[in-house]
Chains A and B, each alone.
Chain A
Amino acid sequence: MRPFQYERADTLEGAVKAAGTGGATQFIAGGTTLSDLMKLDVMRPERLVDVNPAAGGPAGRIEATKSGLRLGAMVRMAEAAEHPAVKTDYPVIAQALQLAASQQIRNMASLGGNLLQRTRCEYFRQVSWPCNKREPGSGCAAMDGVNRLHAVLGTSDACIASYPGDFAQALVALDAVVETVREKGGARRIALSDLHRPPGDTPQVETVLEPGELITAITVPAGPWTRRSLYLKIRDRDSYAFALASAAVALDLDGEVVREARIALGGIATVPWRAREAEAALRGKTMDEAAATAAAEAALAGAQPRGDNAFKVPLAKQTIVRALMDAKRMET
């Protein structure tokens, strides 16, 4: 691992100041992404600004009100997953967190850091391989390599890496917003659906955040669909594995008729993927298996499998159908 300077920040403002706007500084929260990738020499920060001391302030709190949910960026995954209001009123969020990683990692990892976790593409993680995300212009070893875990939606000629997380899908489905602070330009609010950038020609640029921009909180608006919501995650093993395919769904039903559906997909796309075509296909329809299947077809219409990952197309469709039917049956 390359040497780095280590600094602690007691407040979020202090952290932003300490980080400055140079690209060589990284915030460190749980460190579960960062220290892993530093050991692999994939991430090479010259300075780490430890934001954990700020967890004692608002950034470490969860507030649930009538208008919605506010999750401090320093809240740990385990704490949010077990928060009573999150579990009852936003089950899709609690489940997405609960089904991620292991209890040890959930105890360490922060919600802000979770959103910014990096892909698990093995070629990205091993510096001996060409990888446009790690080393722009070097090529993409996954394109014609072992790409079973890679994305079928949102890909480009430069990169097909899938976004590995779960939590962001729940947030995208519920129209969440991240609040940030910057040293120059101050605070801003970014819709979660705008936070992550599809790879395009610049897979190395993964989010719209500026260097030194700190996520302080995540807000989730209340809505009639948040209680009838769930996260379905399909994996190679029952626990402690990344998603092969996952669906975050939320339904607002009028009897059996869909007033509003929210669907986001994981494991199969380069970014947390909001399936708006599938939502549109469901609106006004009776929520049955045929409607769910039509929605799933719409969601995957643009899928571009590449070799080993072709199985993800039918798998994702089945995941959507099951998630929707399970959500319909939920008692709220």
Chain B
Amino acid sequence: MARILVDADKCQGYGQCCYEAPAIFTLIDAPVTYVADVDESLRDDAERAADACPVQAITVE
């Protein structure tokens, strides 16, 4: 299991995370909505999303 956390205060709604990991993140309005616990097979996507977030709002554990 990978655990995702988005800092809602930081999130600006750029939506970059949704392009990298559409299975985890969905943007309608900031802050983004997301699945908090995802299968290990999605860890790579989650880390790409964390890398792509311009305000570094995403943590993957």
A and B held together in a complex: no
